[in-house]
Amino acid sequence: MAAIPNDDSLAEDVKNTVPQNEDPAFISSGVNILFVTIQTYGWLIVGVLVFCVYLASKLRPTIDRWRSQQQDAIFKKSDVNAASSRMEAMQKARQKMQEQLDKQAEEFKIKEAEREEKKRLEKLEDYDRMKQGKSKLNKPDEQKAKKSLRDDYSPLMGDSGGACGWRPSRRGPSAGGG
């Protein structure tokens, strides 16, 4: 027969045994993988972190500017008075540009009419000359001496750097085979 343990012996067994706190296997393996990764790629991770901090510091002003522009755009769209004043200003600018264009078109029409009138008078003068038996080519305006195109050009001065100068042919065998 087995002896029935008394309460005092059970209390002593509980006091003598110290409970051990064991970690679950998935936590210990996860920590182990983390340490191995840091040991293997530690400098690479540090370099990537430093680069990210540097990049964030360089891009921060651009991102802040972009965000403020977005907020301004939202505010401008919601502000009815500002939108109506912008529309009025654009309308005034368009009207001013249209007036300038109309003015330029009117000036062009006047100049074109003057040119046509001048041509018509020239034709009448030519016709009158031909009736009198004079040549149409002997106009007083055309008898002026024609100005040369290049006053500084002289063929005796040599090559003046033009692209059409004479160059001697290549020396050596011809490139034509045989």
Q: Number of folded domains in the chain?
A: 2
Q: Are 154 and 148 in contact (CB under 8 A)?
A: no
Taking each helix axis as running N to C, give the angle between helix 25-78 and helix 80-132, from 0 to 180 degrees, rounded to the nearest 10.
60
CA count, 13 A, side-chain hemisphere, 91: 6
pTM beyond 0.85, yes or no: no
- Note down the domain range covering 111: 96-136
Residue 99 buriedness (CB in 10 A; 0-12 / 13-18 / 19+): exposed
Residue 157 lies in a domain: no
Greatest extent of the chain over all pairs of C-alpha atoms, in Å: 165
Residue 5 lies in a domain: no
Q: Are residues 34 and 74 in the same domain?
A: yes
The pLDDT profile of the chain, 178 residues, written as one tens digit per residue, is 455 656 666 667 666 776 676 777 878 888 899 889 989 988 899 999 999 999 999 999 999 999 998 888 777 666 777 778 888 999 999 999 999 999 999 999 999 999 999 999 999 998 888 888 877 665 555 555 556 666 776 677 765 555 566 677 777 776 665 5
Q: Are residues 101 and 129 in the same domain?
A: yes
